[in-house]
Structure formats: structure tokens, C-alpha cells
Amino acid sequence: MSSSTHSIAYDPAVDAPKPHHPVYDYDSGPPVDRGKFAIWLFLATEVMFFTGLIGSYVVIRTGAPTWPDPSSRLAVDLTAFNTFVLIVSSYFVVRSLQAIQKGNRGALLKWLGLAILFGSFFVGVQVYEYIHLVHEGSTPNVDLFWSTFYAMTGFHGMHVIVGVIWLICVWIAAARGKYSAENHVRVELAGLYWHFVDLVWVLLFTIVYLF
């Protein structure tokens, strides 16, 4: 070193943290909200989770010597209706976001409430279906069809329950006036998650119930 301007010695006046200084918080990267950025990362992990599940299902099913026709074991009509209910609830979530973007808190509460109602209905029908099946003796330890059925619909069902709870939390916050036309990113985050759960169900319904 040609010249050493640094002193190694500790000087409390220079080196210790100053007791009161402002906190500097910078923004960088793409112009999206941090929460939104994180929720997309989280959804990517969810995609991989369901990829693992669906991949396992495909491997197990193609490896099995025989596989029963789902319609012979499951109430496809009821679940088709249930699928429709879930898709409609996604539409309600879209409407609720549009409402708050215009600053219409009443409409937000209305559409969000409907989405919660429809989501809960979906969970209710699933629980009904489970009770019915278990009562018939169709438990997960019977054969691989039921093993995979419960694993796939069960994990999705848990996601729906989490989604409903999340929407309820947003609804309560909305009722307490937390959101406005300028500040409603949390509505959007919950909505993204809800759409994802909805999308996964369409996929699951297709491969578990229809084929």
C-alpha cells in the first residue's frame, strides 16, 4: 500500500452507530410493489409443489396395470357444478378489485363477500363429498386411486381454505376502511392467490375427475 489513510484503530465517534439517524430505504429493480413481487415468487413455488403432486399422479397412474374410470367412483356432475362455483368466485374477486380501483368500498365489500360465500360453498361441497366417500369405505388406504384422489384434492382443498381465510381477512380490513383507490395492493395479492388456486382446480378436475 503506497499510503495508508485508514486507521485500523476503533474510534467510537466514527465507528459506532449514531444514536439517531434516519433509516434509508431505497427502491430498485422493476417498478412493481415488493409484496406483489414476492407473491409471484411464492406462486412459482406453489406451481412447483403442484407440479410435484401432479407429476407423481401421472407417473403412478401410467405405471399402474389398471386404473378405474373416475366416473364410476366419483360424482362428476356435482363436482362439475362445484368447479363452476369456484370459477364464478374468481370472477367476483376480479369485480371486487375493479371496485376498489375506482374507490368504491361498498362494491368491494359486496363482491368480496360473494367470493367468500362461493369459496366456502366449494369447501362445503368437498367436505360433503369426503364424508360421503369415507362413509362408503372409500378411504385413502383402499387403493392407489383413492390415495391419489385424496392427496390431490386434499392439498388443493387446504389451499382453498387458506384462500377463504385470507379473503375474510381482507374483507374485515376493507370493512374497517383500510383500502382506497390509491392503496389496495393487499386486495390484489389475495386475488392473485385466489386465481391461482382456481386455476389449479380446473387442472385437477380435468385429470382426476374427467380422464
Partner 1 sequence: MGTPGTVREHHEHHELGFIRKYIFSTDHKVIGIQFMMTGLVFFALGGLFAMAIRYQLAWPWHKMPLIGDVLFPETGGAITPEFYTMLFTMHGTIMIFFVIIPLLTGAFGNFLIPLMIGAPDMAFPKLNMFGYWAMIPAIFCVTMSFLTPGHGPAAGWTAYPPLSTVQSAAPGSFSAQTWWLMALTWVGISSMMGAVNYVTTIVKMRAPGMTMFRMPLTIWALMIAAILQLFALPVLTAGSFLQLADRVLHTGFFTPTNLLVNGLNPESMQAFDVAKGHFAGAASGGQPLLWQHLFWFYSHPAVYIMVLPAMGMASDIISCHARKPIFGYKPMVYSMCAIAGLGFIVWGHHMFASGMNPAMGMTFMVSTIMIALPSAIKVFNWLGTLWGSRIRLNTPMLFATGFVAMFIIGGLSGIWMAATPVDIYIHDTYIVVAHFHYVVFAGSVFAIFGGIYHWFPKMFGRMMNDTLGKIHFVGTFIFTNGVFYMMHQLGVAGLMRRTADPYNYETYRHLQPINQFISICAFLLFAWQIFFVVNFFYSMFWGKRANRNPWNACSLEWDAPSPPGHGNFDKKLQVFRGPYEYASPDTDDDNLRQTQEV
CA atoms in the 13 A half-sphere facing the CB of 159: 23
Distance CA 99, CA 97 (A): 5
Q: Which is nearer to partner 1, 17 or 177 (CB)?
A: 17
Is residue 146 involved in binding partner 1 (CB under 8 A)?
yes
Query: Is the distance from CB of 178 to CB of 184 less than 8 angstroms?
Result: no
Is the alpha carbon torsion for 35, 41, 47, 52 positive or negative? negative
Q: How many beta carbons lie within 10 A of that of residue 204, not counting itself? A: 20
Taking CB under 8 A as the criterion, the residue among 3, 69, 135, 177 binding partner 1 is 3
Give residues 15-54 in contact with partner 1 (rule: CB under 8 A).
15-18, 20-31, 33-34, 37-38, 41-42, 44-46, 48-53
Q: Which is nearer to partner 1, 15 or 106 (CB)?
A: 15
Scanning 112-120, 137-145, 160-168, 189-197 for contacts with partner 1 by CB under 8 A, the matching segment is: 137-145
- Can you tell me which residue has the cell 380422464? 211
Distance CA 48, CA 93 (A): 24
Give residues 89-108 in contact with partner 1 (rule: CB under 8 A).
none
Distance CA 49, CA 46 (A): 5
Burial, 119: exposed, middle or buried (Cβ in 10 Å; 0-12, 13-18, 19+)? buried
CB 46, min distance to partner 1, A: 7
Q: Which is nearer to partner 1, 25 or 69 (CB)?
A: 25
Distance CA 195, CA 1 (A): 60
Taking CB under 8 A as the criterion, the residue among 79, 83, 96, 148 binding partner 1 is 148
Taking CB under 8 A as the criterion, the residue among 71, 98, 143, 181 binding partner 1 is 143
Interface with partner 1 (CB under 8 A): 1-11, 14-18, 20-31, 33-34, 37-38, 41-42, 44-46, 48-53, 56, 59-60, 63-64, 139-144, 146-148, 150-151, 155
